[in-house]
Amino acid sequence: MLEARFLTKIYGGEGGMPSHRAVNGFHLSIHPGEWVGVMGPSGSGKTSLLRILGTLDLPTSGELWFQGRELTTLSSEERAQFRRRHLGFIFQDFRLLEALTLRENTWLPLVLSREDPAVMQERSDTMAAALGLDKGWHRYPRHASGGEKQRAAAIRAMIHRPDLVLADEPTGNLDSKASRALLSALETLRQQANSAILMVTHDPVAASRCDRVLFIRDGALMTEVRHGGKRQDFLRRLLTVVSAMGGEHLDLEGMGLS
């Protein structure tokens, strides 16, 4: 469904300024219904890669194909139409409209596609109940907690059942219960709509939900770990790679692994 070839992104380098290669010749293929994780140290290029795959930034060089269409050649208006139709985004900084309630914010993709209002309300309220957002549903973003805003942003990303959800640390502002609910909602989406998910995360437990996890450093693929077998075994292998990459102290006892 999505294929990236030799993606490179270089920032700076103009007017004698130093340059920074955030993404370095990256290759990636994602299939319908696949859940792919991306892990790596801070500054490794994870968010830059996600923004390029979502056509929010253009690469310095390389190609990006979606269902046989080369996206880097599209105009800015065509890329915007592509995003509305095919993608859902969960940003670290939420990107909610302050003039709308959390509930109203989640309707935006369906409003743009001119969905029936009754369908919008039923779908959003069902997802809010599943994510435990019922109590804060009618608050404006400025009165909501980080966790409430994160869940609203997640619902907005999933409500139109996109072909691909791009999630940047989707559980970063959530407690363990809310994190499990959100990850379960993503799993339901891909089971029911065959949506693919690309998730950047620092959390090995969240990453263990994926079919495979890509580890990147300095904008390039370092290694890939595929699921296969039991989830606990997959988690242990992820932790081994995280540790090898200099990951911070991990609470193995809290994860039930020691």
What region, left, alpha or beta, does residue 192 occupy, with left being phi > 0 and alpha being psi -120 to 50 degrees? Answer: alpha
As a residue count, the chain comes to: 258
Residue 172 in any domain: the answer is yes
In a domain, 187, yes or no: yes
Task: Tell me the CATH number at 92.
Answer: 3.40.50.300
What is the pTM (predicted TM-score) of this model? 0.90
- Predicted confidence at residue 251, as pLDDT, reads 46
Q: What pLDDT was estimated at residue 255?
A: 46
- Strand arrangement of the beta sheet that strand 87-90 belongs to: 87-90, 164-168, 196-200, 35-39, 212-217, 220-226
Find the helix or strand (DSSP H, E) in which 183 lies: helix 176-193
Indicate whether 57 belongs to any domain.
yes
> How high is the pLDDT of residue 229?
84
- Asked if residue 73 belongs to a domain, the reply is yes
CB 215 within 8 A of CB 245: yes
Q: Indicate the burial class of 188 (C-beta count within 10 angstroms; 0-12, 13-18, 19 or more).
A: middle
Q: Say if CB 71 and CB 2 are below 8 A apart.
A: no
Is residue 26 within 8 Å of 8, Cβ to Cβ? yes
* Residue closest to 55 by CA, chosen among 80, 86, 21, 85: 80
Closest residue by Cα to residue 141 from 171, 100, 89:
100
Give residue 252's pLDDT: 45
pLDDT recorded at residue 249: 41
249 belongs to a structural domain: no
Q: Which range marks the domain in which residue 90 is found?
A: 2-244
Residue 106, domain member (yes or no): yes
11, 22 contact by CB (below 8 A): yes
Amino acid (1-letter code) at residue 8: T
pLDDT at 247: 60
Instruction: Round to whole Å and give the CA distance between 62 and 232.
Output: 37
Residues 6+ positions from 58 with CB-CB distance below 8 Å: 52, 72
Task: Answer positive or negative: Cα dihedral of 190, 67, 5, 83.
Answer: negative
pLDDT in tens, the chain (258 residues): 999 999 999 998 776 667 889 999 999 999 999 999 999 998 899 999 999 999 999 999 999 999 999 999 999 999 999 999 999 999 989 999 999 999 999 999 999 888 899 999 999 999 999 999 978 899 999 999 999 999 999 999 999 999 999 999 999 889 999 999 999 999 999 999 999 999 999 999 999 999 999 999 999 999 999 998 899 999 999 999 998 887 644 444 444 444
Query: Quick check: is 255 in a domain?
Result: no
How many helices (DSSP H) and strands (DSSP E) are in the chain?
9, 10
Count of domains for the chain: 1
Instruction: Say what the pLDDT of residue 18 is.
Output: 78
Does the residue 253 lie in any domain? no
The three-class DSSP label of residue 171 is: coil
